[in-house]
Amino acid sequence: MAYAAVAIAGGFLVVRTLIALHESLGGGTAVDYLGMASAARLVAAGSHCVYCPAHLAAAQSALLGYTPPPGSAFPIPFVSPAVLAWLLQPLAALPLQTGTDILVLAGVAAMAVAATLLIRYLRPATGMPIAGGVVVAFVFSLGAATGILLGQIDGILLLCATASLLLLERRHPWWAGILLAPLLLKPQLLWLAVPALLLSSQWRTSVPVLAGGAAVAVGGLLLVGTSHVLDVVGAVGTATYHQLNAQGNTLPELFARPLGSDAAGWVAAAAGAALAVAAMAWQRKRLRAHPAEALAVGLAASVALSPHLGDYSLMLLAVPAVVLARRRPMAGATVAAVFTASTLVPFPGQRVTSLVALTLLASFAWAVRLALAAAAPDRTPATAPRSMVTAHAR
């Protein structure tokens, strides 16, 4: 019965993803890609004003072939690092639908490859039903389907994170860091993974990430110039950005949404980050012994505590979820099942709180409990370091 439920739920999510792909290729409104492509065209034209609403409006009108009427969410703000706009220049030079199709197809292909790799990584420890269920629950979630319709890049970033995990497991830390660096195009996906790597003494993985961060910062400064370096602050203060925050499902939304305050979310994120880093420092010896788990903890904390995150980015939780499931199969399966249920079940209190965020909070609390139980001292002689989430039989 349980396997049948996994098959039905997983099949539904995959079919929903394929429907989103079909809608996107059929001319859907990939508004996030429109914002990125317009910024890329501004960079190609030599403009430093990649965050300026007036310049974005002109570029988006050119891409659309018309100017949307007053009152619509126009122009679409660009709030990513300017380096992303620079990278997308070749794609943005194409007609809007062509560029959208290429990016969406690349993203879906990356999701499929990442899912395959994660299932192969997890299957020896859990069997195919649990491995497939855990991976599909996150990689092909309803939020992921929304990301396809919006023209987001998270599928590509998921593949990078997956490859980084596998390379860490195979003791290739330099390459793991190099493939982790693209997540800096969405810094909120990586901001707490960096301290996790540093505190666990994963220097060879940290160096490429830190170098990538410096390149993104310096490259962004060169692209926008000193006179426009603070324009992004204005972009994150727009009504559109506030509306996106109000729809988020990360832990800071448990404070921001009932108060109707983005500032409350940022404060909650900062406080949560401080607690997370303190916990990492406390468990740094165990993190040092288990590099893959250090990365998983950092990614999970980054996503769950982000003050601004679309639901499509929750697919990155697939990486820490499989690490948990590899150590504790039933714990990983339960987290995946509850997460999927929280995204599918209608929730009347959605305007004042987030069922998904409550699920993430409960999952975090449970994972911490398992880690503490695994770390509890026993009198059994140990021949090898124990996993953070695996308690040895006494």
Instruction: Identify the band that residue 237 occupies on the pLDDT scale cut at 50, 70 and 90.
Output: low
CA distance 53 to 32: 15
Give the per-residue pLDDT at 354. Answer: 73
Examine the pLDDT at 5 and tell me if it is beyond 60. yes
Rounded (10°) angle between helices 173-180 and 154-169: 170
Question: Distance from CA of residue 2 to its chain's centroid?
Answer: 28
Span 7-16, average pLDDT: 87
Look up the domain containing 183 and give its range: 106-374
Number of domains in the chain: 1
Rounded (10°) angle between helices 329-344 and 142-150: 60
Instruction: Identify the band that residue 393 occupies on the pLDDT scale cut at 50, 70 and 90.
Output: very low
Give the per-residue pLDDT at 12. Answer: 87
Span 250-259, average pLDDT: 83
Does residue 60 belong to any structural domain of this protein?
no
Which DSSP letter does residue 329 get?
A: H
CA distance 215 to 224: 14
CA distance 221 to 371: 41
Highest average pLDDT, of 87-101, 230-244, 280-294, comes from 87-101
* pLDDT > 70 fraction of the chain, expressed in percent and rounded: 87
CA distance 52 to 54: 6
Does residue 101 belong to any structural domain of this protein?
no
Q: How far is CA 283 from CA 134, 199, 388, in A?
A: 26, 9, 9
Examine the pLDDT at 319 and tell me if it is beyond 70. yes
Does residue 165 belong to any structural domain of this protein?
yes
Task: Give the pLDDT confidence of 81-138 residue by residue, as tens digits.
Answer: 999 999 999 999 999 999 999 999 999 999 999 999 999 999 999 999 899 999 999 9
Question: Distance from CA of residue 324 to its chain's centroid?
Answer: 17
Structure tokens at 41: 């065209």
Span 237-264, average pLDDT: 76
Of residues 333 and 241, the one with the higher pLDDT is 333
Span 305-321, average pLDDT: 91
Span 303-315, average pLDDT: 90
CA distance 20 to 25: 9
Does residue 146 belong to any structural domain of this protein?
yes
Q: In 3-state terms, what secondary structure has residue 35? A: helix
Does residue 135 belong to any structural domain of this protein?
yes
Does residue 42 belong to any structural domain of this protein?
no
Give the per-residue pLDDT at 275. Answer: 92
Span 178-196, average pLDDT: 95
Span 7-14, average pLDDT: 86
Give the per-residue pLDDT at 246. Answer: 67
Examine the pLDDT at 331 and tell me if it is beyond 70. yes
Task: Give the pLDDT confidence of 43-92 residue by residue, as tens digits.
Answer: 999 999 999 888 999 999 999 988 888 767 788 889 899 999 999 999 99
Does residue 357 belong to any structural domain of this protein?
yes
